[in-house]
């Protein structure tokens, strides 16, 4: 193989090439039969309408790290990819297309509309998959699934029919989230709550018998037209003497009862709650308990119904204004105050969602939830970090029946038919042609299933269920699910329920919950704030590897990632550092082609040290990845490659590599160099797959893809790889002494290339022997013209103390102490003057009150930075004066 790497690493030159190579070689493919060691992950299916965002990028990067790592451990890995049909989102996209053509879905008809959606999917639906590939995702793309595939559709239908036959699916009236714009029910997850500056209205409901009445507080006066009761808490002392049983509903002049219910919050408003069972989920439950009627006053179009009386046909928010005005006119509006509260919006069109009474299809979730709770309680499925178990349990213990019907056309149409003659409902695996009464006048349910219904079957439907396939036998349950906390209950819990119900086993052994990717200030990214970082733009400018390594390095368990382009640029420097180290290594391997074969077991201390450190890194990376501590693994590798391998080891071995003669020692060092680079890129491959593949193909003796390289062995006696505490202790002492000399250079403003003389006074026998043995190494790394080990402190020397020795650097004739003292005094005076200005500004109350927070924080940052710099200079000045006085 060609051992010469280009001078600089250009990501664009290699990424597309190597991804195509991996696919053409079938390196992502899982064996159907599995084998002894199987590992499987199902990708959280992105919406077919989606584009790569930071959530996808983090999620897929972490999955890819695990899959590539497990392949190196010898596992047969199945990473199942696919996309979700995203019912509402996809229908909205195609409806916008139709609108631009001057038509709509109702004009083209259901069948033609569905054909248009399939055409759109064929043309544009693969965009998100191509973007995942740019990220380096090593999914088994030949197995790519789509939630509307024929096989998955059959699975969805069987689950619906079986649950219906078991009495776990029913049709009934319930409060659902309704979008008046999309004209469909929405899952709780599809409702986004935005804090809104609203109003709280206090309204008097007069007693039917006698004077006075109850004052209720509401944020939605328009719903009062559908009130069927007023509720108070039986423990509320304010109403202990209340004898009235009814109030008159204002405007509608309808008598409604006063009921007592423990749900009423004693601390909210007046303690009297208007009850509108048709327009609030909690009121609906109160209505069930007290057998209240349900009056629907807001229609599916967001306008008032005939039940709203004189307000019929009025848009709901216009109606609110009209009702408030009328109540005020009647003297019944007692108080209006500002009230911040969360208002639900449709996640797609941002229309305010209307809680509405509707006839829908539901899954009776309670019985299914019991198994899902037990599975986590018994650790059959582990949630990592464990703190998320509480959220999981709270949702399942308080679970409500799941509304699974959606009033759209794109999706799995509910397999239920109603006989138009006798009213019988038939739910079948095959379309019925006639009713049991003999009638052929059948009408299929027009609603489709909630997208999450099909997604809940994803871990087993993608593997061929309801057929008992070899893939299911080999790879179910899956090893781990990686997902965000925001869909812990809406997707994860539902997969748990369905997996346990239909596969009689959990869908995954572990669930790893990753955090959010925020901007550099810790704020959530949003287009409206203008702080979104586009993954595709970052990949274009910085390369995929740098982007992936940044995400992994900051993916600390339970802590959100604060991301900035500067941080990604920083890890691009790491990629370049690795590249240059590889060029250096390969050049030396090329110049010493027989080094590995002729290397003796006797090795210099830098070689022994780096091999011992490699031993620890191999074990630590494995331990970290097994525990889902991605940031720990990434940072261990970063420190090892950048600081230990590049900064110390490569510098330490240059005299050996360039010294005339000493071929035996050079062979051992080149062999070590080659082995360390090889193992390092195999360890790094799951994180930065492209650059490591490129380097791998220039390594002598490397065959095939790095994806087939086994995870490095931590011990290999043939090359000296293994724990060597003595070598580590000795090298750490050398590095401490060298660092001490370098620090003195910096403090005394001595140029790096100016040779210095030093004396080391060891304080124990180990240090004495080790430093005497490695004096040449210390002199080379510290750029010393002379080094005496065992001497005493001379006059006029700068001193540093390390563990095991005192280090003295002779300064006589090196620097002019008078000039250095004057320079430091001048720098300190300049900083002091600047700090006085900053202190004055920060003590100015007018500035603090009027300046933007960012400006104030910037000034505080400058103050802290200058204060720290002045303290550092003062410390250096003290040292100079001490040395000066010592000379005098």
Residue 515 CB contacts under 8 Å (≥ 6 apart), including other chains: 485, 555, 556, 558, 559, 560, 561
Confirm whether 874 is domain-assigned: yes
Beta-carbon count within 10 A of 326 CB: 16
Tell me: do 347 and 380 sit in the same domain.
no
Do residues 646 and 741 both lie within one domain? no
Last residue of a domain, one of 782, 810, 838: 810
Strand boundaries in 462-588, DSSP class E: 478-484, 508-514, 517-518, 561-562
What are the helix (H) ranges across 125-254?
127-134, 150-165
Q: Which residue has the tokens 């077991």?
A: 601
CATH number of 155's domain? 3.40.50.620
> Residues 391, 483: one domain?
yes
Residues 131 and 164 in one domain: yes
419 has which bridge partners? Answer: 442
Please tell me what DSSP assigns to residue 335: E
Rounded to whole angstroms, what are the CA distances from 680 to 389, 555, 642, 771, 843?
36, 21, 11, 29, 53
Residues of each annotated binding site: 527
Q: Which of 537, 581, 583 is nearest to 563 (CA)?
A: 537
Residue 290 near residue 229, CB atoms below 8 Å: yes
Which residues does residue 354 pair with via DSSP β-bridges, in sequence order? Answer: 178
Annotated binding site for ATP: 527
**How far, in Å, CA of 287 to CA of 607, rounded?**
78
Cα(319)–Cα(303) distance, rounded to whole angstroms? 9
Which region, left, alpha or beta, applies to residue 670 given φ > 0 means left and ψ of -120 to 50 means alpha? alpha
Dihedral of alpha carbons 377, 382, 387, 393, sign: negative
Any residues with CB less than 8 A from the CB of 49 and at least 6 apart, and which? 86, 89, 90, 93
Residue 801 domain-assigned?
Answer: yes
- How far apart CA 555 and CA 512 sit, in angstroms, is 12
Domain of 837: which CATH number?
Answer: 1.10.287
E strand segments, 614-731: none
Strands 756-762 and 784-789: parallel
Question: How many C-beta atoms surround the C-beta of residue 23 within 10 A?
Answer: 15
Residue 523 falls within a domain, yes or no? no
Q: In this structure, what token pair is assigned to residue 647?
A: 């900064």
Based on the fold, state whether residues 322 and 384 are members of the same structural domain.
Answer: no
Q: b/e string for 706-732 if b means 16 or more Cβ within 10 A?
A: bbebebbebeeeebbbeebeebbbbbe
CB 497 within 8 A of CB 396: no
Q: How far is residue 690 CA from its own chain's centroid?
A: 22
Q: Are residue 705 and residue 734 in the same domain, yes or no?
A: no
Residues 848, 786, single domain; the answer is: no
Residues 136, 212, single domain; the answer is no
- Return the beta strands (E) in 584-711 as ranges: none
Element containing residue 39 per DSSP (H, E)? strand 38-42
Per-residue DSSP letters for 248-308?
EETTTTEEEEEEE-TTS-TTSTTSEEEE-TTS-HHHHHHHHHHT------B-TTSBB-GGG
Report residue 55: phi and psi, to 5°: -60, -45
CATH code for the domain in which residue 627 is found = 1.10.730.10
The total number of structural domains in the chain stands at: 5
530 within a domain of the structure (yes/no): no
Single out the residue in 723, 739, 768 at which a domain terminates: 723
The answer to whether 703 touches 710, Cβ cutoff 8 Å, is no
The torsion angles phi and psi of 306, rounded to 5 degrees, stand at: -65, -25
Q: Are strands 478-484 and 508-514 parallel, antiparallel or unpaired?
A: parallel
**CB-side exposure of 886: number of CA atoms within 13 Å?**
17
Strand, helix or coil at 592? coil
CATH number for the domain harbouring residue 747: 3.30.2320
DSSP-assigned letter for residue 642 = I
**pLDDT at site 50:** 85
Whether residue 361 lies inside any domain: the answer is no
Q: Per-residue DSSP letters for 748-796? A: TT--TTS-EEEEEEESSHHHHHHHHHTHHHHHHHHTEEEEEES--PPTT
The DSSP secondary-structure symbol of 158 reads: H
Listed in sequence order, the DSSP H helices in 685-764 are 689-696, 725-747
**What span, in angstroms and rounded, lies between the C-alpha atoms of 295 and 279?**
9
Between helix 817-842 and helix 853-887 the angle, nearest 10°, is 160
CATH of the domain at 315: 3.90.740.10
Place of tokens 């916008």: 96
Instruction: For residue 427, list its beta bridge partners.
Output: 416
Is residue 67 within 8 A of residue 38, CB to CB? The reply is: no
Residues of the chain under the 50 pLDDT cut: 1
Residue 258 CB neighbour total at 10 angstroms: 20
Q: So what's the pLDDT on residue 887?
A: 54
Instruction: Tell me the C-alpha distance between 210 and 220, whole Å.
Output: 27
Of 792, 810, 828, which residue is a domain's last? Answer: 810
CA dihedral 454, 456, 462, 466 (to 10 degrees): -80
In a domain, 587, yes or no: yes
- Do residues 572 and 632 touch, judged by C-beta distance below 8 A? no
Radius of gyration, CA atoms only, the chain: 36
pLDDT at 884: 65
Contacts of 322 (CB under 8 A, 6+ apart): 311, 314
Phi-psi region at 531: left, alpha or beta (left = phi > 0; alpha = psi -120 to 50): alpha
Q: Angle, to 10 degrees, between the axis of helix 87-100 and the axis of helix 110-124?
A: 100
In a domain, 161, yes or no: yes
- 787 strand-pairing partners: 758
Identify any residues that bridge with 203 across adjacent strands, giving them in sequence order.
Answer: 216, 333
- What order of strands is seen across the sheet that includes strand 508-514? 382-384, 508-514, 478-484
**Cross-strand partners of 45:** none
Cβ atoms 356, 222 nearer than 8 A: no
Domain identity same for 737 and 608: no
DSSP code for 639 = I
Say whether both 714 and 566 belong to one domain: yes
Measured distance CA(681)–CA(697) in Å, rounded: 11
In terms of Cβ atoms closer than 10 Å to its own Cβ (0-12, 13-18, 19+), residue 248 is middle
**Is residue 789 domain-shared with residue 823, that is, in the same domain?**
no
| H helices present in 469-518, as ranges | 470-475, 494-502
CA distance to 279, 313, 321, per residue, from 294 (Å): 9, 19, 24
β-bridge pairing 354-363 and 169-179 = antiparallel
For residue 237 the two structure tokens come to 């002392």
> What does pTM read for this prediction?
0.84
Domain, as residue range, for 764 = 729-810
Are 226 and 81 in a shared domain? no
Query: What whole-number distance in Å separates Cα of residue 257 and Cα of residue 56?
Result: 52
Q: Is residue 741 part of a domain?
A: yes
User: How many other CB atoms sit within 10 Å of the CB of residue 768?
Assistant: 17
């Amino acid at each position: 193989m060609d051992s010469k790497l280009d001078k600089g690493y250009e990501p664009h030159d290699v990424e597309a090439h190597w991804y195509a190579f991996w696919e053409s070689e079938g390196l992502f493919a899982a064996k159907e039969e599995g084998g002894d060691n199987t590992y499987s992950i199902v990708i959280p299916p992105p919406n077919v309408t989606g584009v790569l965002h930071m959530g996808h990028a983090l999620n897929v990067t972490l999955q890819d790290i695990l899959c590539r790592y497990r392949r190196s451990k010898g596992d047969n890995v199945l990473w199942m990819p696919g996309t979700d049909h995203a019912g509402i989102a996809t229908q909205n996209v195609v409806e916008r297309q139709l609108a631009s053509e001057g038509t709509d879905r109702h004009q083209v008809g259901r069948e033609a509309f569905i054909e248009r959606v399939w055409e759109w999917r064929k043309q544009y639906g693969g965009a998100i998959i191509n973007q995942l590939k740019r990220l380096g995702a090593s999914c088994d793309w030949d197995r790519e699934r789509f939630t509307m595939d024929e096989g998955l559709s059959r699975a969805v239908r069987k689950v619906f029919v079986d649950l219906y036959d078991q009495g776990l699916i029913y049709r009934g009236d319930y409060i659902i989230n309704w979008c008046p714009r999309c004209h469909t029910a929405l899952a709780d997850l599809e409702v986004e709550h935005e804090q809104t500056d609203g109003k709280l209205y206090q309204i008097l409901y007069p007693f039917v018998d006698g004077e006075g009445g109850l004052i209720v507080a509401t944020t939605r006066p328009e719903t009062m037209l559908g009130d069927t009761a007023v509720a108070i808490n039986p423990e509320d002392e304010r109403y202990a003497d209340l004898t009235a049983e009814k109030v008159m509903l204002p405007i509608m002049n309808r008598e409604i009862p006063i009921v007592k219910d423990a749900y009423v919050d004693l601390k909210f408003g007046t303690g009297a709650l208007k009850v509108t069972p048709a327009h609030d989920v909690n009121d609906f439950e109160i209505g069930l308990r007290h057998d209240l009627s349900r009056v629907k006053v807001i229609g599916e179009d967001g306008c008032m119904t005939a039940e709203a009386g004189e307000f019929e046909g009025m848009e709901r928010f216009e109606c609110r204004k009209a009702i408030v005005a009328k109540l005020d006119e009647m003297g019944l509006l007692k108080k209006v105050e500002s009230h911040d509260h969360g208002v639900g919006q449709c996640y797609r069109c941002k229309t305010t969602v209307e809680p509405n009474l509707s006839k829908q299809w539901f899954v009776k979730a309670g019985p299914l939830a019991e198994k899902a709770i037990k599975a986590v309680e018994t650790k059959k499925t582990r949630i990592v970090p464990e703190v998320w178990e509480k959220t999981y349990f709270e949702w399942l213990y308080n679970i409500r029946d799941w509304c699974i019907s959606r009033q759209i056309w794109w999706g799995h149409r509910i397999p239920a038919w109603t006989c138009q003659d006798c009213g019988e409902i038939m739910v079948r695996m095959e379309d019925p042609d006639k009713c049991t009464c003999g009638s052929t006048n059948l009408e299929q349910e027009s609603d489709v299933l909630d997208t999450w219904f099909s997604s809940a079957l994803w871990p087993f439907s993608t593997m061929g269920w309801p057929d008992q396939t070899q893939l299911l036998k080999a790879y179910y349950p899956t090893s781990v699910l990686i997902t965000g906390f925001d869909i812990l209950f809406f997707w994860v819990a539902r997969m748990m329920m369905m997996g346990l119900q239909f596969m009689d086993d959990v869908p995954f052994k572990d669930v790893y919950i990753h955090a959010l990717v925020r901007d550099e200030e810790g704020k959530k990214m949003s287009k409206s704030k203008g702080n979104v970082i586009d993954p595709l733009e970052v990949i274009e400018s910085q390369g995929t590897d740098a982007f992936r390594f940044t995400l992994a390095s900051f993916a600390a368990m339970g802590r959100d990632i604060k991301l900035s382009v500067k941080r990604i640029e920083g890890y691009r420097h790491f990629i370049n550092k690795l590249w240059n180290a590889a060029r250096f290594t390969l050049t030396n391997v090329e110049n010493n082609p027989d080094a590995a074969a002729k290397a003796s077991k006797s090795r210099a201390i830098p070689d022994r040290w780096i091999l011992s450190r490699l031993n620890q890194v191999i074990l630590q990376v494995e331990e970290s990845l097994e525990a889902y501590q991605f940031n720990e693994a990434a940072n261990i590798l970063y420190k090892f490659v950048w600081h230990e391998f590049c900064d110390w080891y490569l510098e330490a071995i240059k005299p050996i590599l360039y010294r005339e003669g000493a071929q035996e020692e050079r062979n051992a060092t080149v062999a070590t160099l080659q082995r360390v680079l090889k193992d390092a890129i195999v360890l790094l491959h799951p994180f930065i797959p492209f650059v490591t593949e490129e380097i791998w193909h220039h390594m002598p003796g490397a065959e095939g893809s790095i994806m087939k390289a086994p995870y490095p062995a931590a011990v290999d006696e043939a090359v000296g790889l293994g724990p060597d505490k003595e070598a580590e202790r000795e090298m750490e002492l050398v590095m401490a002494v060298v660092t001490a000399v370098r620090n003195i250079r910096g403090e005394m403003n001595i140029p790096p290339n100016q040779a210095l003389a030093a004396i080391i006074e060891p304080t124990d026998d180990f240090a004495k022997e080790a430093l005497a043995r490695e004096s040449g190494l210390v002199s080379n790394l510290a750029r010393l013209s002379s080094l005496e080990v065992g001497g005493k402190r001379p006059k006029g020397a700068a001193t540093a103390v390390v563990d095991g020795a005192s280090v003295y650097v002779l300064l006589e004739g090196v620097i002019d102490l008078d000039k250095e003292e004057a320079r430091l005094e001048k720098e300190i005076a300049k900083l002091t003057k600047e700090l006085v200005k900053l202190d004055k500004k920060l003590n100015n109350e007018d500035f603090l009150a009027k300046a933007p927070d960012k400006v104030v924080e910037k000034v505080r940052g400058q103050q802290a930075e200058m204060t720290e710099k002045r303290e550092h200079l003062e410390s250096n000045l003290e040292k100079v004066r001490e040395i000066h006085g010592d000379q005098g």
